[in-house]
Amino acid sequence: MTDTLKYASCDVVIIGAGPTGLSAATALKRAGIEHVMVLDREPEAGGIPRQCGHPPFGIREYKRLMTGPSYAKMLVDTALKADVNIELKSTVTELKPEGVLTVASPEGLTELTAKRVLFATGVRETPRSARMVSGDRGLGICNTGTLQSMFHLKKMIPFRRPVVVGTEIVSFSALSNCKKAGICPVAMLEEDTRPTLRWPLHYATHLFGVPLLLNTCVVNILGNERVEAVQVADENGSLREIACDGVLFTGKFTPESSLARMSHLTFDPVTGSPVVDQFGRCSDLSYYAAGNVMQPRFGSDTSAAVPLYYTADNLPQPVKVAGQCWQEGKLAAGHIVKDLSGALPAASA
């Protein structure tokens, strides 16, 4: 274990420098907590908004309409101004009892201890494999997040004429990214009879000139080296082929929570999030979780192991937007401040 100075012992360590983590860290510092450190595995702080090259961001937080990257920068600047310590390229690899974390960084492996830990690692989309979509496995199959990061962070594009699968809020972002990058989606597919995001998707597909095919799902992806076409089925099961050079799977968000899944924390396999109490505390009271890594349960489904369960299929509601996560981060900070001063009940119902 090396470099213990960099990771001097902390009051609060936050895992994830996205809107949740940065807002919590800023609030903690402003409330007078001395040692607050945010760890992020990426070389840059800001989380998902860094790669969302479009508005609307920042309305709730900064009373301005911003794009993702400038919003991310604002979050980071605000945190730094509040004297938050942000450590990048620092991957938390293990959560251990009572706030002990293992962290990998290019300087080496470190163990560090915090009085409280906030778990704020966000969500990602469900990839093709976990959706078990049939077909070949050529290049050109990806999620919106990949399109965004390739385009906004590296100025590259993964395809030119993809089929877009899904009609969630993020699918809208996918269309607008395509438009900006000069990518012309050949169709947008939705299994259901209506788009998941009712408005403004119809409008958007018109605006972007992308045909919206309802009641339609991908049954086969063709193309060994690179995607050449997809076979789609409509509600009557009749098949047809659509030529394309990529498949963009949008949405079906799933928490980026494997750290918690693999840890001692009580975990809810239905939502894919750690189990928390009304203060956002995990089963080990040194740990809190907030932001998009926390996904709520829906409906009457309370059994832990639904037979045909896929983590991602169980999130019918659009994911929380950045502003909501920012708010949750602040809220979590409030609880942690109270907790550190002994004002939270030791364990709750």
Partner 1 sequence: MTIEQQRGRNTRDDKRTSGLLIASGDVAIIGGGVVGCAVARRMALEGASVILIEKAADILDGASKGNSAILHTGFDAPVGTLEWQCVQKGYEEFHAIHKSLNLPLLKSGALVAAWTEEEESRFNGILNKGKDNGVKDLRLLSRAEVISLEPNLGQTVRAAISVPREYVIDPWSTPLAYLQQALKNGGKALFNAEVTGGEFDGSDWLLNTAQGQVRARYVINCAGLYGDILDRDVLGGSEFTIKPRKGQFVVFDKAAAKLVKSIILPVPTERTKGIVLFPTIFGNFVVGPTAEDQEGRDDASVDKENLQVLRMQAIEKIPDLATIPVTATYAGIRPATEEKGYRIIEDKTRNWITLGGIRSTGLTSALGLAQHVHHLLAKQGAHFETITEPAVPCIPNLAEHLPRDWQKPGYGEIVCHCEMVTEREINAALEGQAPAGSLSGLKRRTRATMGRCQGFYCSARLAELTKGKFAEPLDVGEVND
Ligand X SMILES: Cc1cc2nc3c(=O)[nH]c(=O)nc-3n(C[C@H](O)[C@H](O)[C@H](O)COP(=O)(O)OP(=O)(O)OC[C@H]3O[C@@H](n4cnc5c(N)ncnc54)[C@H](O)[C@@H]3O)c2cc1C
Q: Tell me how far apart the alpha carbons of residues 133 and 253 are, in angstroms, rounded to a whole number.
A: 16
Q: Is 180 in the site for partner 1 (CB under 8 A)?
A: yes
Residue selected from 33, 142, 293, 333 as contacting partner 1 according to rule CB under 8 A:
142
What burial class does residue 181 get, using C-beta atoms within 10 Å of its C-beta: 0-12 exposed, 13-18 middle, 19+ buried?
buried
Q: Is 149 in the site for ligand X (CB under 6 A)?
A: no
Binders of ligand X among residues 313 to 342 (CB under 6 A) are 319, 321-322, 325
Quick note: the x/- pattern for ligand X over 15-34, rule CB under 6 A, is: xxxxxxx-------------
15 binds, among ligand X, partner 1, none (CB under 5 to 8 A by kind): ligand X
Q: How far, CA to CA in Å, does 326 sit from each of 23, 263, 320?
A: 5, 25, 10
On whether the CB atoms of residues 49 and 18 are closer than 8 A, the answer is yes
Binders of ligand X among residues 179 to 198 (CB under 6 A) are none
- The conformation of residue 175, written as its DSSP 8-state character, comes to H
Q: Is 233 in the site for partner 1 (CB under 8 A)?
A: no
Q: Tell me how far apart the alpha carbons of residues 294 and 46 are, in angstroms, rounded to a whole number.
A: 18
Q: Which stretch binds ligand X (CB under 6 A): 73-81, 140-148, 194-202, 208-216?
A: 140-148
On whether the CB atoms of residues 183 and 206 are closer than 8 A, the answer is no
Residue selected from 137, 194, 240, 338 as contacting partner 1 according to rule CB under 8 A:
137
Q: How far, CA to CA in Å, does 166 sit from each of 152, 174, 237?
A: 22, 10, 18
CB under 8 Å to 272, separation ≥6 — which residues?
254, 255, 257, 261, 295, 311, 312, 314
Residue selected from 307, 342, 343, 347 as contacting partner 1 according to rule CB under 8 A:
307
Binders of ligand X among residues 100 to 139 (CB under 6 A) are 120-125
Interaction site with ligand X (CB under 6 A): 15-21, 39-42, 47-49, 52, 91-92, 120-125, 144-145, 148, 170, 173, 256, 259, 291-293, 319, 321-322, 325
